[in-house]
Amino acid sequence: MRKSKALFAASKKVLPGGVDSPVRAFRAVGGDPVFMRSGAGAHLTDADGKSYVDYVLSWGPMILGHAHPAVVRAAERALRKGSSFGAPTEEELRLAEAVRAALPSMERLRFTSSGTEAVMSALRLARAYTGRELIVKFVGGYHGHADSLLVAAGSGATTLGRPDSAGVPAAWAKTTLCLPYNDIPAVREAFRRHGRKIAAVIVEPVAANMGVVAPEPPFLETLRELTKKSKTLLIFDEVITGFRFFYGGAQTGMRITPDLTTLGKIVGGGFPVGCYGGRREVMDLVAPQGPVYQAGTLSGNPVAMAAGLATLDVLRRERPYARMAEMTRVIVTELRGMGRFKGLPLQVNHVASMFTVFFTETHVRDMASAKTSDTKAYARFFHGLLERGVYFPPAQFEAAMLSSAHSTLDLERTLDAAARAIRRL
């Protein structure tokens, strides 16, 4: 840890909090962050040379593991040809075609440089298309850091939101309604009161940013029905779920068609990317086709496009999904068993290859129940794993994930570390 500690101390003198994205700083679990030097497959090596089995996977993109040879090759080839032209390239056309083939609801789509940008643009588009201003989001849903989305729930479920970050104007936060996830009555009430004013409902079709929480039928079906009735656009934020469960999105498995979808993470193969798209008549409002302005110097960057295309190509050919889900099921079952053995109240939520360990007796189905978790116990569990070379998300309300590179040996190492970490709680 010596090198990491020195790097962090120096970083704090130049970067706020020593990091470029807050969760990396380990504030939620205490201690100093580990600086990573390299990654290969399911493993990371830190600045001091210690190795870890990685369940963070850069928070989602690295579904094939780190430095996958096919992705490295594609990115290298693209890089040699020049890394950015500010002009259209064949790579973005090919990736757009591949995304649309996998997610047919995205009849037209556009690439951006981050998920935040994709979501922000999708909201602007929804407001333009409907001529309305209100947005509905769900408590604990994360959609990037655009102003309209850094909003906390108001005093009642159907009252307008208030800023959840300094610097977000109150007037701006009031354009967002923040409802509890999986709460159908709250959604019905919101639509009764504000339906004709709501431009869009944005939702993670499987929540991953309050920890993993599955939608309980008919939650999403109800969103689809109500939005259709009141001519509101339904936006599935699939930045994390896109290509995570299937070759396609969470929507592929659910047979619900959103009006707009946002993607990011996996479709950039580990490079900065975002993407939004949907019904043609809506997307045709985007400039230069229509009046909704949105642009980006590095949008559709050829290196990111090549890495994304290579990632999708491997996923399409190898279909690692069933194996990843099965391995996750093993981890989850074992963790639950360890909790029972120790007499700990433990909830392990999982959907396919994503899971979250909550230290609570309460079934976790929304942010309120997620918050019943003993986050101090999570912090001790996290450090117990870290010590033994297993890198879990350094915060409770996040998803741990598997890649196609995780092996049964990695699984054994993980479970061994988890057993020791839990025994010591």
Residues in contact with ligand PLP by CB under 6 A are: 114-116, 119, 142-144, 204, 208-209, 237, 239-240, 264, 274
Query: Nearer Cβ to ligand PLP, position 116 or 252?
Result: 116
Q: Give CA–CA dist 167/183, Å, rounded.
A: 29
Please identify, using beta-carbon distances, which residue of 209 and 356 lies nearer to ligand PLP.
Answer: 209
Whether 265 is a known active-site residue: answer: yes
Q: How far is the CB of 155 from ligand PLP (least distance, A)?
A: 26
Among 174, 181, 259, 265, the active-site one is: 265
**Min separation Cβ 228 and ligand PLP, Å:** 23
Residue 54 beta carbon to ligand PLP: minimum distance, rounded to whole angstroms? 17
Position of minimal CB gap to ligand PLP:
115
Residue among 142, 181, 321, 391 flagged as catalytic: 142
Closer CB to ligand PLP, residue 150 or residue 346?
A: 150
**Phi, then psi, of 150 in degrees rounded to 5:** -90, 65
Please state the closest distance from residue 21 (CB atom) to ligand PLP, in A.
8
Minimum distance, C-beta of residue 256 to ligand PLP, in the bound complex (Å): 17
* Min CB(92)–ligand PLP separation in Å: 17
User: Among residues 308 and 339, whose Cβ is nearest to ligand PLP?
Assistant: 308
Query: Measured from the CB atom, is 234 or 419 closer to ligand PLP?
Result: 234
**Is 142 noted as a catalytic residue in this protein?**
yes
| Catalytic residue (choose from 46, 54, 237, 366) | 237
Cite the active site residues. 142, 237, 265
